[in-house]
Amino acid sequence: MSLSSVQLRVRGYHLDGYGHVNNARYLEFMEEGRWAFFDEHPSLMKELHDAGRAFVVVNLNIDYRAAAVQGDDLVIMTGIVEVGERSAICHHQIRRKDGQLVAKADLTFVLLDIRANKASPIEGHVRDTLASLTVEKSVFAD
């Protein structure tokens, strides 16, 4: 099982005119979570790079549950919950340190063949590695 956890503090520049985190900033927080997740698996990233492949986001569904404000300490949890033939799903949850769910999202990504500029099948060692990292969505408390 592989979950990644990143902590960050909400700063003034994350806020919108209403004094809470701008919705676009949550996407950046989740991206930070994905970078941390893949940082924990450098051999996978090297294999993809050497093969001329990259993960590319193709869909994002996000549910905002509570506003985060300046000074909130957030925890971004990231894990892969599904691996298909041509795409995979990464789940994110953002919580305040007190456990309050702020946002959750399912992000679909494909494996891009950089030279051909098109999606390629998720197969071989990459598929095996991703499958070994997959977690049940139930490990994310709602």
Select which of 16, 39, 63, 73 is catalytic.
16
Residue 51, number of CB atoms within 10 A of its CB: 15
CA separation (Å) from 66 to 14, 24, 36, 90? 15, 15, 24, 21
Non-local (6+) Cβ contacts of 15 within 8 A are 21, 22, 69, 70
Q: Verify whether residue 39 is a known catalytic residue.
A: no
Active site residues: 16
